[in-house]
Amino acid sequence: MSDPRTTPDPARSGLNEAAQITRGVVNLLRKPNGARDRQLLMGADVTVMWREDGWAYVQAAADGYCGYVGVASLGKPQEITHKVTAASSHGYQNANFKAIDRCAISHGSRLASLGEKDGFIQTSHGFVHKRHLSKVDAVQEDPASIAALYLDTPYLWGGNSRWGIDCSGLVQAACLACGIPCAGDSDMQEATLGELLPDGSIPQRNDLLFWKGHVALVWDEETVIHANAHAMSTVLEPIEDVIARIERTDGPVTAHRRLP
């Protein structure tokens, strides 16, 4: 049976239009005015398959996730040149850090350069400081260090941004920054990411530990970093404590996987 999260609804597949997200963070909904499944960040590429009554049914290019967004959050595709590598940034009215900020921009957002001035990249969302950016094709090497950018970020079910993130959103942000294709939800990640290790394997940095409905990224042999509802935040926590707590409510570790 096909997964509706990543298999387009044939009843909503009349169009095939390329578009991009033009707002900072946009909820990807299960149905119009429905529950949030995931989020899309500024500059995310999507395919619009259906539009009606102010809603668009789209499929995200990054992970194939399908859902509904407001038509007002979509724009024509621009040639993306940069991405945000800081935890967050701002788009300013002018190329000056004292200027009024027009918008806040999360880590992982993608931007199209319209020019450079005084250490800033000019974009359609304002001037963004170059220290917060890299070229869009730049690849990081350590997923755990990317996850650490989100420490103390509030927990948000289905969240994918610096303003709110969940366990699978954190893993996806870390993997995508390092050039590792990554699905949106933890069950998909458990089925596809890296190499499955035998029970009893010693955790090493950037391994993934999975439970029913949860995933954590290994920081070191004794610690994980994860976004979780227990702390309502992204935190570093001893592996033994996490295993013991989750086992009491949701059962034991279901998989230990090693990223490539």
Domains, in order of start, for the chain: 10-75 (2.30.30.40), 82-135 (2.30.30.40), 143-258 (3.90.1720.10)
pLDDT confidence of residue 1 = 73
Calculate what percentage of the chain has a pLDDT beyond 70.
100
pLDDT digits (tens, 9 = 90+) for 48-92: 999 999 999 999 999 999 999 999 999 999 999 999 999 999 999
pLDDT digits (tens, 9 = 90+) for 168-224: 999 999 999 999 999 999 999 999 999 999 999 999 999 999 999 999 999 999 999
Instruction: Kindly tell me if the per-residue pLDDT of 108 is higher than 80.
Output: yes
Instruction: Kindly tell me if the per-residue pLDDT of 140 is higher than 80.
Output: yes
In this prediction, residues 118-132 reach a mean pLDDT of 98
Question: Three-state SS across the chain?
Answer: CCCCCCCCCHHHCCCCEEEEECCCEEEEECCCCCCEEEEEECCCEEEEEEEECCEEEEEECCCCCEEEEEHHHEECCCCCCEEECCCEEEEECCCCCCCCEEEEEECCCEECCCEEECCEEEECCEEEEHHHEEECCCCCCCHHHHHHCCCCCEECCCCEECCEECHHHHHHHHHHHCCCCCCCCHHHHHHHCCEECCCCCCCCCCEEEEECCEEEEEEECCEEEEEECCCCEEEEEEHHHHHHHHHHHCCCCCEEEECC
Average model confidence (pLDDT) across the chain: 97
pLDDT confidence of residue 39 = 98
In this prediction, residues 235-249 reach a mean pLDDT of 97
